[in-house]
């Protein structure tokens, strides 16, 4: 795969349609549509009342609003579309600004307002929108379009019995340092019973930003997943350690895994051992599966920072050169993976490369499921794929369409 060409020239993925468009209809028609979305047949006031929750969502579009003095107001989204920002228009004789954006149904995206004054832009969350999504860098406003709902199984408080997380430290010779490990144990954990094992890269971020614990509790209680043990790892230097770093492979396979086997009754069947990660965590998961093919039978790869087309390296961060070298080496690796789940947001710049990774794994004989969500490179997206990814790898006989 090192020649810079598409490794599967007969398989060409159609690029995503440009699905986000400013509604350019006359102001009167837009106002009627907004009124219907806001309060059914009730007439929309000339100036929206502050208590109204925005954005207003209807089957065709969403309407954003902001109130205040500014030279310009932009909606900045976190996507890889041609248009990276949309302008809000000021209503005549008013300090209200509004944007009606035509969007696809059942989509989710994160955004901020860019308030421009005296040539300086200030990025803020939407003060009229209470929905926020967190990540390690802060929080963003969330827009959920018509038909999208946060999966019920992610909500805390639903399971009648809950698991717990144990924390301990491991002395790592590979990294010459101590590493903290979190281990999720399911409700009713029984030391005499053997449990499937999931090792999760950026596991504490999954807990903090992707509702990992209530999701596992609910999915296990529903019977979607078997009771399982999940080991949470966190790297202090993921841009180095997660990119096929031999130290990280040794840490997981020669230090973490034996420690887990000593402390807990984890299954020794590779088909009951899964690696999961998002972004660079997906690269790390695949790297371990490739370098230690007899230890793990499944991978859940979300929005992986993969690269097949080496012509893209000129526009990417230097770490992608190491990712590219790793992907080139996959042709020479023994592949004993049984199942792979590959997902990516339709609106992120990695979508084509994840499509190619899914095609590569299928070509290698791995049972692979590929999912494109109407979302982008966010923890909310990776949260929504927990059920489908783990069911695909651990419960193939009862796998059902995600909901």
β-pair partners for 108: 144
**Does 24 score more than 70 pLDDT?**
yes
Predicted confidence band at 334 (pLDDT cuts at 50, 70, 90)?
A: low
Q: Which of 97-111, 303-317, 340-354 has the lowest mean pLDDT?
A: 303-317
Work out whether strand 367-373 and strand 339-345 pair parallel, antiparallel, or are unpaired: parallel
Please give the average per-residue pLDDT across 99-120, as a whole number: 95
pLDDT at 121: 95
Topology given in CATH for the domain delimited by 152-398 = Rossmann fold (3.40.50)
Residue 34 is predicted with a pLDDT of: 59
Query: Mean per-residue pLDDT for 387-400?
Result: 84
**How many helices (H) and strands (E) would you count in the chain?**
11, 18
**pLDDT at residue 303 tops 70:** yes
pLDDT of residue 52: 76
Mean pLDDT, rounded, for 230-245: 96
The answer to whether the CB of 141 falls within 8 A of the CB of 126 is yes
Residue 376 pLDDT exceeds 70: yes
Residue among 115, 136, 113 nearest 125 (CA): 113
CA distance 399 to 131: 31
Tell which wins on pLDDT, 307 or 186: 186
Alpha-carbon distance 198 to 186, whole Å? 12
Class of domain 21-144: mainly beta
- H/E stretch holding 164: strand 164-172
Q: List pLDDT tens digits, range 138-178.
A: 999 999 999 999 999 999 999 999 999 999 999 999 999 99
Give the per-residue pLDDT at 46: 47
Task: Average the pLDDT over 14-34 and give the result.
Answer: 65
Q: d(Cα 388, Cα 341) in Å, to the nearest integer? A: 8
Binning pLDDT at 50, 70 and 90, where does residue 321 land? confident
pLDDT at 47 over 70: no
277-to-150, 303, 304, 353 alpha-carbon distances in Å? 21, 9, 8, 16
* pLDDT, averaged across the chain: 88
DSSP string, 330-374: GGGS-----EEEEEEETTSTTHHHHHHHHHHHHHTT-EEEEEEES
> Nearest to residue 197, comparing CAs of 147, 101, 136, 262?
262
Residue 284 is predicted with a pLDDT of: 97
Task: Give the residue with greater pLDDT, 329 vs 72.
Answer: 72
Same fold: 21-144 with 152-398: no
Provide, rounded to the nearest whole percent, the portion of the chain with pLDDT above 90.
Answer: 72
Backbone angles phi, psi at 157, to 5 degrees: 90, 0
Res 333 pLDDT > 70: no
Residue extents of the structural domains in the chain: 21-144, 152-398
Question: How does residue 214 score in pLDDT terms, banded at 50, 70 and 90?
Answer: very high
Greatest alpha-carbon span in the chain: 73
Alpha helices per DSSP H over 192-314: 203-209, 212-222, 238-241, 246-250, 257-263, 280-291
Q: How many other CB atoms are found less than 10 A from the CB of residue 32? A: 13
| pLDDT at 110 exceeding the cut of 50 | yes
**Nearest alpha carbon to residue 196 among 321, 297, 286:** 297
Task: Give the pLDDT of residue 329.
Answer: 86
CB count in 10 Å sphere of residue 39: 12
Q: What is the pLDDT of residues 60-90, one digit of tens each?
A: 899 999 999 999 999 998 777 555 789 999 9
The proportion of the chain whose per-residue pLDDT surpasses 70, expressed as a percent, equals 84
Confidence band of 53 (pLDDT split at 50, 70, 90):
confident
- The average pLDDT across 258-279 equals 97
pLDDT of residue 355: 94
Query: How much is the pLDDT for 26?
Result: 60
């Amino acid at each position: 795969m090192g020649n810079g060409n598409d490794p599967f020239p007969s398989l060409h993925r159609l690029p995503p349609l440009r699905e986000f468009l400013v509604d350019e209809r006359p102001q009167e028609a837009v106002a009627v549509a907004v009124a219907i979305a806001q309060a059914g047949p009730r007439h929309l006031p000339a100036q929206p009342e502050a208590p109204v929750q925005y954005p207003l969502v209807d089957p065709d579009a969403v309407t954003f609003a902001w109130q205040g003095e500014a030279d310009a107001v932009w909606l900045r989204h976190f996507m890889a579309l041609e248009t990276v920002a949309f302008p809000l228009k000021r209503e005549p004789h008013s300090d209200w600004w509004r944007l009606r954006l035509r969007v696809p149904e059942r989509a989710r995206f994160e955004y901020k307002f860019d308030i421009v004054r005296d040539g300086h832009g200030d990025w803020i969350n939407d003060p009229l929108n209470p929905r926020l999504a967190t990540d390690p860098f802060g929080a963003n406003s969330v827009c959920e379009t018509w038909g999208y709902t946060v999966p019920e199984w992610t909500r805390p408080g639903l399971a009648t019995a809950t698991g717990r997380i144990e924390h301990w430290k491991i002395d790592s010779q590979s990294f010459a340092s101590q590493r903290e490990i979190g281990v999720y144990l399911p409700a009713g954990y029984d030391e005499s019973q053997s449990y499937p094992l999931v090792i999760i890269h950026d596991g504490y971020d999954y807990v903090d930003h992707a509702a990992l614990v209530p999701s596992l509790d609910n999915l296990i209680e529903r019977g979607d997943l078997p009771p399982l043990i999940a080991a949470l790892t966190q790297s202090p230097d993921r841009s180095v350690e997660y990119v096929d770093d031999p130290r990280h492979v040794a840490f997981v396979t020669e230090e973490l895994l034996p420690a887990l086997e000593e402390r807990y009754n984890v299954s020794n069947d590779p088909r009951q051992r899964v690696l999961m990660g998002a972004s660079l965590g997906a690269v790390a998961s695949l790297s371990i599966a490739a370098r230690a093919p007899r230890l793990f039978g499944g991978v859940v790869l979300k929005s992986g920072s993969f690269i097949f087309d080496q012509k893209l390296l000129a526009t990417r961060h230097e770490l992608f050169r190491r990712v590219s070298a790793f992907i080139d080496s996959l042709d020479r690796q023994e592949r004993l993976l049984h199942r792979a789940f590959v997902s990516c947001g339709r609106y992120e710049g990695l979508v084509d490369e994840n499509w190619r990774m899914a095609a590569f794994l299928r070509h290698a004989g791995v049972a692979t499921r590929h999912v494109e969500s109407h979302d982008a490179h966010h923890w909310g997206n990776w949260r929504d794929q927990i059920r489908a990814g783990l069911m695909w790898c651990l419960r193939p006989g009862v796998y059902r369409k995600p909901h």
